[in-house]
Structure 1
Amino acid sequence: MTAFVSALDLFSIGIGPSSSHTVGPMRAARAFAERLASDGVLDQVTRISCALYGSLGATGLGHGTPDAVVAGLAGLEPQSCDPDQVRGAWSRLGGKGAEVRIAGGQAVRMLRSDVALEPRTRLPGHPNAMTLQAWGDGPLPLAEETYYSVGGGFIRREGETASESGALLHPLPYSSADELLALCEEHGVSFCDVARHNEVAVHGERGIDAGLDAIWAAMADCVSHGLSTEGTLPGGLGVKRRAPQVRRRLEEYDRDEHLRDTSTEWLHAFALAVNEENASGGRVVTAPTNGAAGIIPAVGHYYLKFVPGADAAGIRRYLLTAAAIASLVKKNASISGAEGGCQAEVGSACAMAAGALCAVLGGTPRQIENAAEIAMEHHLGLTCDPVAGLVQVPCIERNAIASSTAVSAARLALHGDGTHLVSLDTVIETMRQTGLDMMTKYKETSEGGLAVNVVEC
């Protein structure tokens, strides 16, 4: 089966703080509500319950998962909802419960206890699992579904199999980096050209351009809002937003052109801005996850601000190249922190940004593949251990540092001819194996690492 996943699916506009713990559960809950309506049983429903298993249960409170479930049942969609409608949706139920209009229709009274956290129960399908049940007057549920939030906002219903029908629409299919390189050499094109050819077959020329432009506009809005919004992030850790202060200082430095090169510090500021927005539950673009959402927009802004000749067409090539690389990781390893640790999130985003930047800087396909490999290789084994289950420490700074790594990897690859010892396919497979070997407590459960060694004040 082809590895190709559309950029319009990989880069989904949604809300923070987590693609797998917020966006995915919201989509699953909405899908369940829509099923109740389509099956004609919604008017019989008197109660809905949801059990959050494994990683969803372990860090669900810090990631806003119960809020997302209630919002999804009410028919809200991550890409179009007001984030304020989601924040506190579960806690607003209060001690005696409140009515929730399921899929915007039937009113059902829900209690906070209707959403249960079951961190010690892990279902075999994926570490991020949730079971929804709808109850009527009888002793058995009217309907029951289990969903898996498999990373990047993607969900899979239990019993579903991956469809290969999309492969028929992709004129240039590939399942590995070696196959992608072979296509590039056969047709004399680059990664972004292969991706665009496949995208046009599905979305058309205007459709893919409009979609990419909308994705970048959302990323740019997120950066802009994050650079100008002051305050303290929610969750109780007392983490203050730093991006606005960094922006002001850099603007002062830049007024004196001889003071120093600020390009790397601007890169950091862009990443901080996005991930502070994400941590606050604001509007972000999954890239390929929310926990790693700052890297692609930060490096893209670096390209526009500091690379001569950078333009909107270059941003389209940048996003298409990044999506082509992400497709390989998603198919052959994972982009889920609960499945592979942070190497699967920040490591994947860093590889995407490195290869994409290399492409718009004029890199050959083999240099692009090398840049992605360098970036991924140096994130192998990276754990996901967010303090208090919040996407704040170490996540926000980690995006800034990984953005620097992406730029370094791209420029290092450009100094070579693309020849290197470790292939991108090899490092992706190594990441997959490392994720399997990694202890569960280091994979988005907040049961190990920094999460247990940082004293919460």
Structure 2
Amino acid sequence: MEKISVFDMFKIGIGPSSSHTLGPWRAAQRWLQELQQQIDLQQVQAVEIHLYGSLALTGKGHGTDLAVMLGLSGQDPVSIPISRVHEIKQQIQKEHKLYLADQHEINFNPDQHIILLGAERLPEHANGMIFKAFTREKTIESTYYSVGGGFVKKANEQPDTSDTVQLPYPSQNGEELLQHCQSRQMRISDMVWANEQSWRSTEEVRSGLLQIWQVMLTSMYKGCYTEGTLAGGLNVKRRAAGMHRKLMGDLQFENSNDWLEEVKRRPNDFNAILKWIGCFAMAVNEENASFGRIVTAPTNGAAGVIPAVLMYYICFSEENVKEDDILNFLMVAGEIGTLFKKNATISAAMRGCQAEIGVSSAMAAAALTECLGGSVEQALMAAEIAMEHHLGLTCDPVGGLVQVPCIERNSMGAIKAITASRLALDSNPADACVSLDNIIKTMWETAKDMSHKYKETSQGGLAVNISVKMPEC
């Protein structure tokens, strides 16, 4: 049984894509570590990165070239100052020099040494890449795959099913999760807390989740106060700031926590709440599209859904939400995400946007349901309802950018999650015809039947029906 932590599902990183930015970045870091174990970096004369399939077709729009350069330069997506992201890329492009692991200078021309092979695909996944290092004596190469949500695997690498970590409540599917909870009369969050402490101390779990929440909150806050046009060539105007101004006026705040407290005091009629949810979700994904720092939830392209629903819970649910409630929300959401990862995928390049927005909506729906007092059965039902109404959702980014239709889809996914939760809370799960495991299986089968042009290639759907000239892709 594959063991996946909540901290695998929620990763702090840089936008705009977990598959095309964060994943290749992590792959470059892994390869660099592997290389250092084999040879002295001073022996390396040149490197090449070969990007295949979806990584090549939409890679430049998603910043894949930037990501591999930053990874090879020794930068980390969690800690790199946002201002340095483009500075380093521009420096490499100007000087044609790259500092491997920030210690060994080599000649590097991105146009020559990053090779895009969109017509070819490596066998294990649509997001394949080969790293090559050249010394005087030999060529050293490794193949990696970015498999969605910032997860990376080396060619032929198998999921971790070792006995190194013993989880008290391992769950491969929704039925096993339900059995654990029913037999011990506990909530999903209780089960996940116990599992997470197999990897980390209680304090480490708490501090890690609070850091994740703070990054989510900050990305919403920044998105709500940043105007302008998104880079990339589509000239998409950032809308969250304008929406926020209509809701909040011209009030300014010293930090995101003060802002949150004021949002709680805002009018909460139905129309206002709808507007706030859309504003929260779009703010995150506008930050994501701008190479800002966000949290994969479970991916970058779907990063706005869970923060928006969590903000709805904190600000408008009439609950007295405490810190522990926020942590429990993230626990439940993360666990539901692992079920999709284990039994289907969270990669839009493999299975369309149902694997991103659909999964994030299901995660948020289950989390909200438990936090509003729903049973384990109702939480699983909410996740099923949310995914049921995302089945077949294609990934068709215009110009290969995570902008159109991606940003708006986060708003829609958040609304669907809240609706799914409310439906489940008003229902008897014993009367349900479809289980969460049924819907995950159906999603996987639907995805396999879906044409590759609707899987993050920009070769179908809106991507080919909007007339734009995109020099990046």
| Superposed pair shares fold, TM > 0.5 | yes
Structure 2 match to 1:171: 168
- Of residues 82, 107, 111 in structure 1, which corresponds to 2:105? 107
2:106 is paired with a residue of what secondary structure?
strand
Equivalent residues in 2 for 1:262-273 (5 A)? 262-273=272-283
Q: Are 1:407 and 2:418 an aligned pair?
A: yes
Structure 2 match to 1:279: 289
In structure 2, the CA distance between the partners of 1:297 and 1:114, relative to structure 1 (3 Å rule), is same
Q: Distance in 2 between matches of 1:114 and 1:371?
A: 47
Q: Distance in 2 between matches of 1:383 and 1:48?
A: 35
| Residues 291-323 of structure 1: CA deviation (Å, up to 9, x unaligned) | 000001010111111122122111111000001
2:197 is paired with a residue of what secondary structure?
helix
Write the letter of the residue equivalent to 2:127. N
In structure 2, the CA distance between the partners of 1:212 and 1:166, relative to structure 1 (3 Å rule), is farther
Write the letter of the residue equivalent to 1:434. T
In structure 2, the CA distance between the partners of 1:196 and 1:167, relative to structure 1 (3 Å rule), is farther
Structure 1 match to 2:126: 127
In structure 2, the CA distance between the partners of 1:416 and 1:167, relative to structure 1 (3 Å rule), is farther
Equivalent residues in 2 for 1:133-212 (5 A)? 133-138=132-137, 140-141=138-139, 143-165=140-162, 168-212=165-209
TM-score in terms of structure 1 length: 0.96
Q: Distance in 2 between matches of 1:66 and 1:258?
A: 44
1:270 is paired with a residue of what secondary structure?
helix
Q: Distance in 1 between matches of 2:102 and 2:54?
A: 29
What is the Cα deviation at residue 261 of structure 1? Answer: 4.0
Write the letter of the residue equivalent to 1:378. H
Q: Distance in 2 between matches of 1:83 and 1:64?
A: 14
Contact 1:67 1:88 in 2 (8 A): no
Q: Are 1:304 and 2:279 an aligned pair?
A: no
Q: Distance in 2 between matches of 1:166 and 1:262?
A: 50
What is the Cα deviation at residue 256 of structure 1? Answer: 9.1
What is the Cα deviation at residue 389 of structure 1? Answer: 0.2
Structure 2: gaps spanning 5 or more residues: 251-262
| Residues 190-235 of structure 1: CA deviation (Å, up to 9, x unaligned) | 1111111100121121111111111001100111110011111010
RMSD: 1.8
Contact 1:167 1:173 in 2 (8 A): no
What is the Cα deviation at residue 137 of structure 1? Answer: 2.5
2:391 is paired with a residue of what secondary structure?
coil
Q: Distance in 2 between matches of 1:217 and 1:249?
A: 25
TM-score in terms of structure 2 length: 0.93
Q: Distance in 1 between matches of 2:122 and 2:159?
A: 19
| Residues 344-398 of structure 1: CA deviation (Å, up to 9, x unaligned) | 0000000000000001000000000000000001000000000000000000000
What is the Cα deviation at residue 85 of structure 1? Answer: 2.6
Q: Distance in 2 between matches of 1:196 and 1:263?
A: 31
Structure 2 match to 1:454: 466
Percent identity of paired positions between Structure 1 and Structure 2: 46
Structure 2 match to 1:395: 406
What is the Cα deviation at residue 449 of structure 1? Answer: 0.4
Equivalent residues in 2 for 1:344-423 (5 A)? 344-419=355-430, 420-423=432-435
In structure 2, the CA distance between the partners of 1:35 and 1:331, relative to structure 1 (3 Å rule), is same
What is the Cα deviation at residue 168 of structure 1? Answer: 3.8
What is the Cα deviation at residue 252 of structure 1? Answer: 5.1
Structure 1 match to 2:57: 58
Q: Distance in 1 between matches of 2:36 and 2:270?
A: 61
Q: Distance in 2 between matches of 1:167 and 1:405?
A: 39
Q: Distance in 2 between matches of 1:271 and 1:290?
A: 12
Write the letter of the residue equivalent to 1:433. E
2:235 is paired with a residue of what secondary structure?
coil
Q: Distance in 2 between matches of 1:158 and 1:258?
A: 51
Q: Are 1:330 and 2:341 an aligned pair?
A: yes
- Of residues 290, 299, 316 in structure 2, which corresponds to 1:289? 299
Contact 1:288 1:348 in 2 (8 A): yes
Structure 2 match to 1:218: 215
In structure 2, the CA distance between the partners of 1:256 and 1:389, relative to structure 1 (3 Å rule), is closer
Q: Distance in 2 between matches of 1:261 and 1:439?
A: 38
Q: Distance in 2 between matches of 1:353 and 1:32?
A: 34
Write the letter of the residue equivalent to 2:366. G
2:204 is paired with a residue of what secondary structure?
helix
Q: Distance in 2 between matches of 1:46 and 1:259?
A: 63
2:191 is paired with a residue of what secondary structure?
helix
In structure 2, the CA distance between the partners of 1:209 and 1:167, relative to structure 1 (3 Å rule), is same
Contact 2:28 2:68 in 1 (8 A): yes
Q: Distance in 1 between matches of 2:72 and 2:449?
A: 36
Q: Distance in 1 between matches of 2:32 and 2:178?
A: 43
Q: Are 1:232 and 2:226 an aligned pair?
A: no
Number of residue pairs the alignment of both structures matches: 453
Structure 2 match to 1:427: 439
Q: Distance in 2 between matches of 1:415 and 1:321?
A: 20
1:262 is paired with a residue of what secondary structure?
helix
What is the Cα deviation at residue 90 of structure 1? Answer: 4.4
Write the letter of the residue equivalent to 1:424. L
